[in-house]
């Protein structure tokens, strides 16, 4: 692992590299002025530096459609986080994103002891009379091992999440699918 590229004159290549500017600026020491090994090393390092500058300056660009490819892949994933219409007494449209709805619904579920909300998927399945989106929600949960009465907790989750969807967001929750995919040992 030792980094030691010693020249026949016992100076190290890294030393020559570090002194390249100094020597270039005319501040060479006596050894550097006279040593042929140091001079050869300097010339190689200068050639390397010049080629490196060229490599940096080349600024090779990717093909022009790369950004488009990346962004269409990104947008394809955004659609899962679509916008949902909320009821509005005014002429303008009010929309809320899936991510925002998910935050509120997860929070409602988290309030139940022994429940941790994980993923939350919201799909619009129709539009209600007030213009509000009618939604179907898949909520993935982890349940505490101590939660021996799991079904009661899930009933409470169902109540709280439905209430939050209507009261805090303004969506009509038509169907709530609760998926318990994990258990955890800690409290809370």
Task: Give the tokens for residue 179.
Answer: 């998926």
Residue 68, classed as helix, strand or coil, is helix
- Nearer of residues 56 and 186 to other proteins, judged by Cβ: 56
Which residues lie below 8 Å from residue 23, measured CB to CB, with a gap of 6+? 32, 42
* Helix, strand, coil in percent for the chain, rounding step 5: 45, 25, 30
Tell me, residue by residue from 107 to 136, as one string, x for binding to other proteins by CB under 8 A and - for no binding.
------------------------------
Residue where the block lists tokens 């940096």:
56
Within the chain, where are the H helices?
13-18, 20-24, 30-34, 36-58, 66-78, 98-110, 150-164
CB of 82 to other proteins, least distance (A): 10
- Nearer of residues 62 and 91 to other proteins, judged by Cβ: 62
10 lies in the site for other proteins, by CB under 8 A: no
CB of 67 to other proteins, least distance (A): 6
Tell me, residue by residue from 27 to 66, as one string, x for binding to other proteins by CB under 8 A and - for no binding.
-------------xx-xxxxxx-xxx-xxx-xxxxxx--x
Give the span between the Cα atoms of 109 and 154, in whole angstroms. Answer: 9
Q: Which residues bind other proteins (CB under 8 A)?
A: 1, 3, 5, 13-14, 17, 40-41, 43-48, 50-52, 54-56, 58-63, 66-67, 69-71, 73-75, 77-78, 81, 97, 99
């Amino acid at each position: 692992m030792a980094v030691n590229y010693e020249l026949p004159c016992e100076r190290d290549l890294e030393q020559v590299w570090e002194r390249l500017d100094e020597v270039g600026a005319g501040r060479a020491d006596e050894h550097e002025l006279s040593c042929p090994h140091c001079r050869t090393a300097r010339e190689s390092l200068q050639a390397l530096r010049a080629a490196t500058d060229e490599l940096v300056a080349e600024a090779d660009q990717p093909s022009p459609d790369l950004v488009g490819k990346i962004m269409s892949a990104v947008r394809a994933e955004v659609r899962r986080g679509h916008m949902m219409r909320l009821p509005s007494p005014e002429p303008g449209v009010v929309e809320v994103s899936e991510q925002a709805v998910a935050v509120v619904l997860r929070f409602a579920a988290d309030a139940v002891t022994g429940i941790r909300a994980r993923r939350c998927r919201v799909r619009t399945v129709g539009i209600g009379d007030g213009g509000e989106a009618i939604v179907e929600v898949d909520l993935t949960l982890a349940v505490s091992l101590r939660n021996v009465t799991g079904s009661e907790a899930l009933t409470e989750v169902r109540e709280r999440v439905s209430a939050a969807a209507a009261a805090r967001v303004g969506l009509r929750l038509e169907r709530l699918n609760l998926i318990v995919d994990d258990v955890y040992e800690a409290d809370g």
